[in-house]
């Protein structure tokens, strides 16, 4: 009996690797974009389709990653939603005619390539994939 209690206690106290395994991400834009920093609330509003224009008046093009650790980490930390809630948010917006879901790419490399080709685009990538093809946005 004491060994079961000890096991239960260990299970409750020790962190689950899957729960803490969310990949580190960075928010990135095209190198030509003059924006250097954004509030987390601004980033949230951009990815929820509530903020649609850059300060220079250009339309913001949003790109997402398909499901994965980077996507999950971004959605949980910045949008404060689960990936399923985020997907449902955009399905409801599409169904009600209030918005069109952002484009998706399979991984950080594809997101970087899309952003490098479009000065109006914003997305997120694995921090380990950051290079000089895109510009990192500092989050306040």
52 Cβ contact list (under 8 Å, min separation 6)? 46, 59, 60
User: Residue 98, SS3?
Assistant: coil
Chain length of the chain = 140
Rg of the chain in Å (alpha carbons): 18
> pTM for this one?
0.83
Q: Are 64 and 112 in contact (CB under 8 A)?
A: no
List the pLDDT tens digit at each of the 140 positions of the chain.
555 665 444 445 444 443 334 569 999 999 999 999 999 999 999 999 999 999 999 999 999 999 899 999 999 999 999 999 999 999 999 999 999 999 999 999 999 999 999 999 999 999 999 999 999 999 99
Q: How far apart are CA 3 and CA 113, in angstroms?
A: 54
Collect contacts of 79-84 with beta carbons under 8 A, ≥24 apart.
Answer: 79/44, 79/47, 79/48, 80/44
The CATH number given to 23-139 is 3.40.190.10
CB-CB contact of 28 with 124 (8 Å): yes
């Amino acid at each position: 009996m004491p060994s079961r209690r000890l096991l239960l206690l260990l299970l409750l106290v020790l962190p689950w690797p899957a729960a803490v395994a969310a990949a580190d991400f960075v928010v990135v834009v095209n190198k030509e974009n003059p924006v250097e920093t954004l509030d987390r609330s601004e980033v949230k509003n951009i990815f929820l389709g509530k903020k649609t224009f850059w300060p220079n008046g250009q339309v913001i093009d949003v790109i997402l990653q398909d499901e994965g650790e980077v996507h999950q980490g971004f959605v949980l930390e910045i949008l404060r939603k689960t990936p399923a809630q985020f997907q449902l948010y955009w399905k409801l917006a599409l169904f009600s005619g209030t918005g069109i879901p952002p484009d998706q790419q399979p991984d950080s490399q594809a997101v970087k390539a899309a952003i490098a080709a479009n000065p109006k685009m914003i997305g997120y990538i694995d921090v380990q994939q950051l290079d000089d093809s895109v510009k990192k946005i500092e989050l306040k």
